[in-house]
Chains A and B, each alone.
Chain A
Amino acid sequence: MAIDTYIMGLFRSEDQAVAAVHDLKNSQWTLHRTHSPIPSRKLSEALDLKTSKVGWYTLCGGIFGFFAGFALAIFTAERWDLIVSGKPIRALVPFVIVGFEFTVLFAIFGNLIGFLTQTRLPRMQNLDHYDERCSGAHFGVLASCASGQQDGLTDLFRKNGGDVRVFDDQTATNER
C-alpha cells in the first residue's frame, strides 16, 4: 500500500493560493486544507465552503436565555409574593430587562460553544502538517500524493509561485 506524502504550498498572495486550489481540484492529488493569516473570501469560494452552522447554536442559546431570564425573575418574585402598592407579582415589563440580558448572554455562550465544537478547539498538541509561516504572511495549501508523485505536486505549487514544504511523517523538509 502506497504511503501518502503531505506537501504544503506556501504562497505570498491570496490569488496564488486560490489558483493552486483550483489546479489541485482538477488534478489527481488530494487537497486537504488551507491555512491563511486572514479570513479569505476568495479561498472560501474556491473551496466551495458552505455557510457555518454555528448560528444555530447562537439561536438556541438566545432562545434558552430569553426564557431562562423570565423564568428566573418570575420564580424569585413568587418566592416573596407580597403585593406592594397593588403592583403585580409577575411584573413582566421590568422582567423584559432580565430576559433581554439573559438572551444576549446565553446567545453568546451558544455562539462560543458552537465555535469550539465545530472547530474542535481547544487542541493543544502541535497540529500535524502545519507551517508556522501561515500565521504570518503566507497562505498555505496542503495536499497529499502517493509516494513517488512528489515532483508533480511540487511543480504544481511552484508553477503558481509558491514555496514548497514536504512533510515526511513528523519530519518536514523545506524546498525552495
Chain B
Amino acid sequence: MNELTFDRIDQTVLDTLRPATRRYWIGVAALAFGILIGAACWIYQIFVGIGVGGQNIPVAWGTYLINFVFWVGIAHSGTLISAILHLFRAGWRNPIARAAETMTVFAVCVAGLFPFIHLGRVWMVYYMLPIPTQRTLWPNFTSPLIFDVVAISTYLTVSSLFWYTGMLPDLAIVRDRAVGVRKKIFTWLSLGWTGAHEQWRHYTRIYLFFAALATPLVISVHSVVSWDFALAVVPGWHTTIFAPYFVAGAIHSGLAMVLTLMIPLRKIFKYEAIITLHILESVAKTIIFTGLIVGFAYATEFFIAWYSRNPVEIFVFAWRATGDYAIPFWIMVTCNTIIPLAFFIKKVRTTIAWLFGISIAVNIGMWYERFIIIITSVGRDFLPNTWGLYRPSLVEFGIMLGSFSLFFFLFVLFVKHMPSVSMTEMKETLVEGGDHGH
C-alpha cells in the first residue's frame, strides 16, 4: 500500500475509463442477449398467464421469490461494507466499497423486479401503493408483503442516494480530467463539487449520518423479508430466529458476491496495488464468521424442531435433510458452512483461485438456501392432502437467466464508465486511515 500515491490512485482508476475494447462490447452484447431472453419469457408469461411457471398449490412461491430473496441478500453486503465498516473505521473497506455499493443498488433493482414478475397481472402493481383510487381500498400495513414494499423501496432509495453522494468527489476528479461532451456530462453529475472546505465540512457529516442511518436500515430490510415467512403459521417458517438468520445469510452471500466480482475486476483493471490480497483476505475472514453464524442457524432450526417435540416441525426438518430435496439441502449445507471453513487455512484465503472458487460455491449455496426455505416448508405442510413438489419451468429458468444477465450487464457498464474504486477514500487511507476526516 505504501507505494501508492494520490497521482497513482487517480491514474489507475482513470485508466479504467478509457474507451472499451471490442471484447468488452461483445461481453456486453452477450449479457444484453441474456436480458432479452428473460424479457421474452416474462412477456410470454404476461400473455399466457402465471401458470407457465412451475408454481402450484401448495408451492405457490417458486424461483421468483427465491431469486427475490437471493438478490435482496446480495444487496446487503454493499451497505455492510460502506456503512457498517465505515462506522467501525475498518480501512480495508475503502478499495471495495464503491463496487460493493454498486452491487447493492443493482441487486436491489433486480430483486425489485421479481414481485412484479410474480404478480402475473403486472398492471395491477398500483394496488400496492397508498393512493386513493376507484377501488376505495388501501394497502394493508399489517401485512408483511406491504412491509416489504415499504422496506425495499426505502432501501433502494437510501442505498442509491448513499452511492451517488459518495461518488461526488470522484465524479469531480473525472470532470477535471475530461474534455468535450464527457466533461459536460461529468460536470452535471458532479453537481459542481470542488472539494472546498465548506463542502467537505458538510459532506463528512452527511456521510456519517448516511452510514448511521443505513446500518439499522440494512438490518431491518432483510428482517422484514424474513417476516414474509416467519409471520406465516407454516412449519419451518414460523420461527423467531428468521430475522437474524436472514441478515447473516444476506451478508454471507453478499460478501461472496463481492469476491466474485472483485477478483475479475482486480485482474482486468490491474487493481492489484489497490485491491490487495490483504483486502480479499479480510473479506474471506468475514465470510468465515458469517458462515459460522449461518451454520449455527441451520443447527438451531433442527435443534428447536427436535426440542419442541412438535411432530410437524420434526417431520418437515427430517424431510428437508432426507426427502425429495435432500440434494439441494446438502448442497446448501456444504457450500455455506463447510466449504468456507477452508478459509481458516491462510494459503487458501490468500490464493486467488481458491478465493474465487469458494465465493462461487457460497453463491450457489445461498441460492439453494432460499430454495430450501421457500419450497420445502409449504411442500410438506400440516395436512398430507396438501403436500406437493415443485420444479422450475423453462420460463422460470429464462427469467432467472435474464435477472443474472441484467445484474452483470449493469455492473459491467458501470465499472467501465464510472470510477469503480473510490479514489477519494483510497487517498484518505494513505493520509489518515480512511475515516472521512472524523
Residues on A lying within 8 angstroms of B by beta carbon are 14, 33-41, 43-44, 47, 49, 51-52, 54-55, 58, 62, 72-73, 75-77, 79-80, 87, 91, 94-95, 97-98, 100-102, 104-105, 107-108, 111-112, 114-115, 118-119, 121-125, 127, 130, 132-137
Contact = CB atoms under 8 A, between A and B. Distances in A.
Given A97-B147, A98-B141, A108-B210, 10 more contacts: A34-B196, A35-B194, A51-B205, A55-B209, A58-B213, A80-B138, A112-B206, A118-B202, A124-B187, A125-B192
Contacts of B206: 52, 54, 58, 111-112, 114-115
B141 A134 contact: no
B414 interface: no
Interface in B153-173: 154, 157-158, 161-162, 165, 169, 172-173
A46 to B, nearest CB: 10
A108 B203 contact: no
A73 B147 CA distance: 11
B172 A135 contact: yes
B192 A123 contact: yes
A44 B194 CA distance: 16
A98 B197 contact: no
B192 A98 contact: no
B67 interface: no
Contacts of B6: 37, 136-137
A37 B427 contact: yes
A108 B194 contact: no
A14 B197 CA distance: 13
A100 B203 contact: no
Contacts of A102: 150, 154
Interface residues of B, number: 61
Contacts of A130: 194
B109 to A, nearest CB: 17
A97 B205 contact: no
A127 B192 contact: yes
A174 B130 CA distance: 59
B428 to A, nearest CB: 5
B134 interface: no
Which of B206, B432, B436 lies at the interface centre, i.e. has the most chain A CB atoms within 10 A of its CB?
B206
B205 A38 contact: no
Contact of B154 (A14, A34, A105): A105
Most buried by B among A34, A40, A94, A101: A101
Contacts of B10: 136-137
Interface of B: 5-7, 10, 130, 136-142, 147, 150-151, 154, 157-158, 161-162, 165, 169, 172-173, 175-177, 187-188, 191-206, 209-210, 213-214, 216-217, 220, 224, 424, 427-428, 431-432, 436-438
Nearest to B159: A108
5 contacts: A37-B169, A37-B427, A79-B137, A97-B150, A135-B175
B201 A77 contact: no
Given A35-B194, A101-B150, A137-B5, A111 B209 contact: yes
Given A37-B424, A73-B141, A98-B147, A14 B431 contact: yes
A119 B158 contact: no
A49 B437 contact: no
A108 B193 CA distance: 20
B169 A135 contact: yes
Complex A-B, nearest 6 residue pairs according to Cβ-Cβ distance, in ascending order: A39-B437, A123-B192, A76-B138, A137-B6, A122-B191, A132-B176
Contact of A135 (B138, B147, B154, B176): B176
A97 B192 contact: no
**Most chain B C-beta atoms within 10 Å of own C-beta, residue among A41, A102, A119, A124:** A119
Given A44-B437, A105-B154, A76 B139 contact: yes
Contact of A115 (B187, B196, B202, B431): B202
A98 B143 CA distance: 11
B197 A38 contact: no
B197 A36 contact: yes
Nearest to A132: B176
A49 B201 contact: yes
Given A38-B424, A39-B204, A105-B157, A111 B199 contact: no
Contacts of B142: 77, 87, 91, 94-95
